[in-house]
Amino acid sequence: MSNKPLQEKPAKDSAVTMTEIVLPGHANALGTIFGGQVMSWIDIAAAIAAGRHARKVVVTASIDALHFVAPIKVGHVVHIKAMVNFASRTSMEVGVRVDSENPVTGESHHTAKAYLTFVALDEHGKPTPVPKVLTESPEEKRRFEQARRRREARIQLAEELKKELGQPG
């Protein structure tokens, strides 16, 4: 394997948009979608984005922020948008935004957002390097910098949890 650095890849090249419809089987007794169903769709969209960036098999390492901001009703259309915000050596942060659309009125609402970390794996199931993210727009640069700060916070939290559990740092 070569130790040559990987070519940077534009953030926009990892962009994914998934569209789903909320069926009765996805919903609770209130007629709104189960949070776990939204989480599943978020994980799938994020995995596709991370896989596009890495062009390798990827696995979910963490979901460190998932915020539900509005309910999604049966019959509504759900749009899930995902993109790699930041890449470290073998891991990537993917940002996901979920919007719901009333198919009758066309009215759309922001309903959830999440940040997930994925790790790329080689053919032996071991972490493997991924390309850095090339930011081109002011929005991509803003998301990159925010993701870098979240990564620092995740690393600090992991160290604190190791100490709390009595594991070597």
Instruction: Per residue of the chain (169 residues), give pLDDT as tens.
Output: 455 668 899 999 999 999 999 999 999 999 999 999 999 999 999 999 999 999 999 999 999 889 999 999 999 999 999 999 999 999 999 999 999 999 999 999 999 999 999 999 999 999 999 999 999 999 999 999 999 999 999 889 889 988 888 877 6
Asked if residue 1 is part of any domain, the answer here is no
- Look up the domain containing 77 and give its range: 10-164
pLDDT at position 100, please?
Answer: 98
In angstroms, rounded to a whole number, what is the distance separating the alpha carbons of residues 136 and 10? Answer: 7
pLDDT at position 169, please?
Answer: 60
pLDDT at position 65, please?
Answer: 81
pLDDT at position 64, please?
Answer: 83
pLDDT at position 4, please?
Answer: 62
| Burial class of residue 112 (count of CB atoms within 10 Å of its CB; 0-12, 13-18, 19+) | buried
In angstroms, rounded to a whole number, what is the distance separating the alpha carbons of residues 41 and 98? Answer: 9
Closest Cα to residue 17, out of 42, 34, 37?
Answer: 42
Q: Checking phi first, is residue 77 left (phi over 0); if not, alpha (psi -120 to 50) or beta?
A: beta
Asked if residue 3 is part of any domain, the answer here is no
Q: Checking phi first, is residue 31 left (phi over 0); if not, alpha (psi -120 to 50) or beta?
A: left
pLDDT at position 158, please?
Answer: 85
Asked if residue 105 is part of any domain, the answer here is yes
Both tokens of 144, joined, read 């990159």
Question: CATH number, domain at 88?
Answer: 3.10.129.10
Closest Cα to residue 7, out of 59, 57, 58, 53?
Answer: 53
Give the chain's domain count.
1
Instruction: For residue 121, give the H/E element and its range.
Output: strand 108-121
In angstroms, rounded to a whole number, what is the distance separating the alpha carbons of residues 112 and 34? Answer: 12
Asked if residue 169 is part of any domain, the answer here is no
Asked if residue 5 is part of any domain, the answer here is no
Asked if residue 4 is part of any domain, the answer here is no
Asked if residue 2 is part of any domain, the answer here is no
Asked if residue 79 is part of any domain, the answer here is yes
